[in-house]
Amino acid sequence: MAPGPIDKSQVPQATVPRLARYLRVLHRLEREGVPKVSSKELAERLDANAAQIRKDFSYFGEFGVRGVGYEVEYLIDQLSRCLGVSEKWKVIILGAGKLGSALARYRGFQEEGFELVGVFDSSQRVAGSDIDGVTVRPERELPEFLQENPVDIAILTVPGEVAQLVADKVIAGGVRGIVNFAPARLASVDGVFIRQVDLSTELMVVSFYLSKECSPR
Amino acid sequence: MAPGPIDKSQVPQATVPRLARYLRVLHRLEREGVPKVSSKELAERLDANAAQIRKDFSYFGEFGVRGVGYEVEYLIDQLSRCLGVSEKWKVIILGAGKLGSALARYRGFQEEGFELVGVFDSSQRVAGSDIDGVTVRPERELPEFLQENPVDIAILTVPGEVAQLVADKVIAGGVRGIVNFAPARLASVDGVFIRQVDLSTELMVVSFYLSKECSPR
C-alpha cells in the first residue's frame, strides 16, 4: 500500500517543534556517519521520551523497523520535506526596534532555508539605516515591496497596538505565515498560519510548573 | 467529593500557553462586568475551539455548569493560582546583548507577577551599564548574587556555546525555572523546569504548515 500525503491538520502543533529538534540531531548523526538509529538512542541523545518519539514519527507513516531502527538519511529526507527545510522561504521582519534588530542580526535561521529579504520600520529615524547589510525600509513601502518581491513569512516585532494593522498589510500582500513576537493576539485568517511567541506567556509556562498552589477549591 | 490537588505532570505542556490566554480574556470580561461565560463565548472571544477549551479546563476539575457556563471570577482565581500569577517571581536575565536588553526593557511581564531583579553579562564592556534602571552586573558576581537574592526564573540570552555553562551556574544557585532563548538545547535536571524558545524552531513550525511537499515516499 502506497501511503498517501500527510494531512497536516492532524499533526498536533505541539509535535512540530519536536520534529525540528529531531531533524537537528539526525543531521548530527549523519555527520558522525551513523546509518541507523533506534527511538531509544534518539531519546537518549535528545533527553526525551522514546514512546513520544515513536508517536511523533507515526504521523508520517511507518518509518521504523522494530529491532533495526530508523534509517537516518531517509528520516532526514522525510522530516526536511515535511518541515519545508528543503525549500527556500523569503522572510521579512516588521519593526526594527531592539528585538527586530536582534532577530535580523541572528542569522542562524538562514542556514535552515530562511532568507531575510527585508526589514521594515514605521519610524523615519530608523528607516534607511543598515543591519548587517540589510537596509531598513520605511513601512509605507511595504505594499509595493510585496508586489515586487513575493514573501512567505513575516516576523512581527512591532508594538502590540499596531500588530493587527501590520499583520493585515502583510496578509494583503500575500504573506501566508506569521511569527508574531508582538504582545497582541492576531485574528486568524483562512490560509494564513500564525505562530504567537510572547515572553509573558513563556514566563507563565515556567511559573505554572514552579507554582505549588494549584488545586480546585 | 472534594477534588484533590492537580497533578501538573498530567497537564500537556501545549495546554499551558492556552491557559495564559484564557486568563487574559477572563480579566477583560471581568473588567466589562461579565459574571458568567460559556465555552462557546470564550471560543469566539479567543478565536479558538470550544471543545478544546472545555478539555483544557477539565484538567482543573469541574468548572463549568452546562447551560450556565463558567463563573468568570472563580475561573480567574483558579487559573491565576495554577499559573502562579498570584505569586511573585524573581527573574534575572543572563546576557545583556541585543535580545537580553530588549527583554529587559519590555516590562509587560512585570504586571503579571514577574519582577526583574538583575541582568548579568560576561563582557567587561557591558557590565556596569544601565538598562532602564537595572544595572548590568558582571557574570562572575552571579553565584554571590544568587546566595544573597533567591531567584526563581532565569532568562538566558547568551550565545549558544556558553548556554549550558551559564545554565549550570544558575541551577547551582537555586534557580528552578529557565526560559532559554539561546540556540542550544539544555540538559534536563530534576526539579528544574526548562522552556526552550528559539527563532529557527518557530520559523520551522510556520514552514511546516506552509510546505506543500510532505508525503511518505
pLDDT tens digit sequence for B88-142: 899 999 999 888 888 888 766 777 789 999 999 999 888 888 888 888 999 999 9
d(CA A198, CA A185): 10
pTM: 0.77
The arithmetic mean of pLDDT across residues B13-34, rounded, is 88
pLDDT, tens digit, for every residue of B163-184? 999 999 999 999 999 999 887 8
User: Is the CB of A89 less than 8 angstroms away from the CB of B207?
Assistant: yes
Specify which residues A135 forms β-bridges with. A130
Alpha-carbon distance of B192 to A103, in angstroms, equals 28
List all residues of chain A from 80 to 139 with a beta carbon under 8 Å from chain B. Answer: 81-87, 89, 91, 97-99, 101-103, 105-106, 108-109, 112-114
DSSP A216: -
For B107, which residue in chain A has the nearest alpha carbon?
A200
Rounded to the nearest angstrom, the minimum Cα separation between A110 and chain B is 9
The CATH-assigned architecture of domain B89-202 is 3-Layer(aba) Sandwich (3.40)
Contacts of A22 (CB under 8 A, 6+ apart): A42, A46, A53, A56, A57, A75, A79
Surface-to-core class of residue A97, CB atoms within 10 Å of its CB (0-12 exposed, 13-18 middle, 19+ buried): middle
Substitution target in A208, A212, A213 with the highest count of B β-carbons within 10 Å is A208
Interface test with B, best of A26, A209, A217 (most B CBs within 10 A): A209
Domain boundaries, chain B: 8-82, 89-202
pLDDT single digits (tens) B128-164: 888 888 889 999 999 999 999 999 999 999 988 999 9
In order along its 217 residues, chain A shows pLDDT tens digits of: 345 566 777 777 778 888 888 998 999 999 999 999 998 898 888 877 888 888 888 887 655 666 678 889 988 988 888 888 888 899 999 999 888 888 888 766 777 789 999 999 999 888 888 888 888 999 999 999 999 999 999 999 998 899 999 999 999 999 999 999 887 889 889 999 998 887 788 888 888 888 876 655 4
- As given in the structure block, the three cell numbers for residue B25 are 480574556
- Kindly give the residue spans of alpha helices, DSSP state H, lying in chain A: 15-31, 39-46, 50-58, 72-82, 98-105, 142-148, 163-172, 199-210
b/e for A143-170, b at 16 or more Cβ within 10 A?
A: eebbeeeebbbbbbbbeeebbbebbebb
Q: Any CB–CB contact under 8 A between A141 and chain B?
A: no
B188 Cβ under 8 Å from any chain A Cβ: yes
DSSP-derived 3-state class of residue B56 = helix
Residue B2 predicted with pLDDT over 50: no
Q: Tell me the C-alpha distance between A159 and B199, whole Å.
A: 19
ipTM: 0.82
Per-residue confidence (pLDDT) for residue A49, from 0 to 100: 82
Phi, psi of B115 (to 5 degrees): -110, 120
Contact B23, B79 (CB under 8 A): yes
How many residues are present in chain A? 217
Q: How many other β-carbons are positioned within 10 Å of the β-carbon of residue A175?
A: 21
Note the CATH number of domain A8-82: 1.10.10.10
Q: Which one-letter DSSP state was computed for residue B150? A: -
Q: What is the pLDDT of residue B10?
A: 75
